[in-house]
A and B are shown apart, each in its own frame.
Chain A
Amino acid sequence: MSEAFLSLEGVRKEFSGVVAVEDFNLEVAPGEFVSFLGPSGCGKTTTLRMVAGFEPPTSGTIRLAGEDVTYAKPNERNIGMVFQSYALFPNMTVSENIGFGLRIRKEDGTARESRVAELLDLIHMPDKGKAYPRELSGGQQQRVALARALAIRPQLLLLDEPLSALDAKIRDELRAEIRRIQRQLNITTVYVTHDQEEALALSDRIVVMSRGRMEQVGVPFEIYNNPTTGFVASFVGQLNRLPATVIDRDEGRLRVGSGEVRTTSGIESEPGTEVSLMMRPEELTLDAEADNVLQGTVEAVTFLGSIVRVQVAVDGGRLTADLFNERLLVLPVAGDSTQISFPAHACWVMV
Chain B
Amino acid sequence: MTISTAPVPVAAEAPAPGEPTKKRRLWAWLIFIGGAIYFLVPLGATFYWSLRAEKDVLGFEAYRRLFEDSRFWPSFTESVVNAVAAIILSLLIIVPTAYWVTLRLPKLRPVVEFITLLPFVIPAVVLVFGLIRLYGRPPLLLTRTYGSSRVLLVCAYAALSFPYMFRSVDNGLRAMDVRSLTEAAQSLGAGWATILRRVIFPNLRVALLSGALLTFAIVIGELTIALFMAQHTFGPYMAELTRSKVYEPSAMAVVAFAITWVAMGMIALITRSGQRR
- Asked if A5 is at the interface (CB within 8 A of a chain B CB), the reply is no
Taking a contact as CB atoms closer than 8 A, the residue among A81, A89, A91 that contacts B183 in the complex is: A81
Number of interface residues of B (CB under 8 A): 20
| A-B contacts, 21 listed (Cβ < 8 Å) | A54-B186, A75-B188, A75-B190, A76-B189, A77-B187, A81-B187, A83-B180, A85-B180, A86-B180, A88-B184, A89-B184, A89-B199, A90-B176, A100-B185, A100-B190, A104-B189, A104-B194, A105-B189, A134-B277, A148-B188, A158-B187
CA distance A145 to B181 in the complex (A): 11
- Asked if B56 is at the interface (CB within 8 A of a chain A CB), the reply is no
A89 and B181 form a contact (CB under 8 A)? yes
CA distance A54 to B182 in the complex (A): 10
Number of interface residues of A (CB under 8 A): 30
A91 and B187 form a contact (CB under 8 A)? no
List 11 additional contacts besides A53-B186, A90-B203, A101-B188; criterion CB under 8 Å: A53-B187, A54-B186, A73-B186, A74-B183, A76-B189, A83-B180, A89-B198, A91-B202, A101-B189, A148-B184, A148-B188
Please indicate the chain A residues that have their CB under 8 angstroms from the CB of B198 in the complex.
Answer: 89, 100
The smallest beta-carbon distance between B196 and chain A, in angstroms, is 13
Please indicate the chain A residues that have their CB under 8 angstroms from the CB of B187 in the complex.
Answer: 52-53, 74-75, 77, 79-81, 149, 158
Closest to B186 in A: A74
Please indicate the chain B residues that have their CB under 8 angstroms from the CB of A267 in the complex.
Answer: none
Please indicate the chain A residues that have their CB under 8 angstroms from the CB of B184 in the complex.
Answer: 81, 83, 87-89, 145, 148
The smallest beta-carbon distance between B248 and chain A, in angstroms, is 46
What 1/0 flags go to B242-277 for Cβ under 8 Å of A?
A: 000000000000000000000000000000000001
- Asked if B177 is at the interface (CB within 8 A of a chain A CB), the reply is yes
Please indicate the chain A residues that have their CB under 8 angstroms from the CB of B199 in the complex.
Answer: 89, 91
Known A81-B183, A89-B203; contact A75-B177, beta-carbon cutoff 8 A? no
Most buried by A among B186, B202, B203: B186
- Asked if A236 is at the interface (CB within 8 A of a chain B CB), the reply is no
- Asked if B191 is at the interface (CB within 8 A of a chain A CB), the reply is yes
Closest to A80 in B: B187
Please indicate the chain A residues that have their CB under 8 angstroms from the CB of B189 in the complex.
Answer: 75-76, 78, 101, 104-105, 152
CA distance A149 to B176 in the complex (A): 20
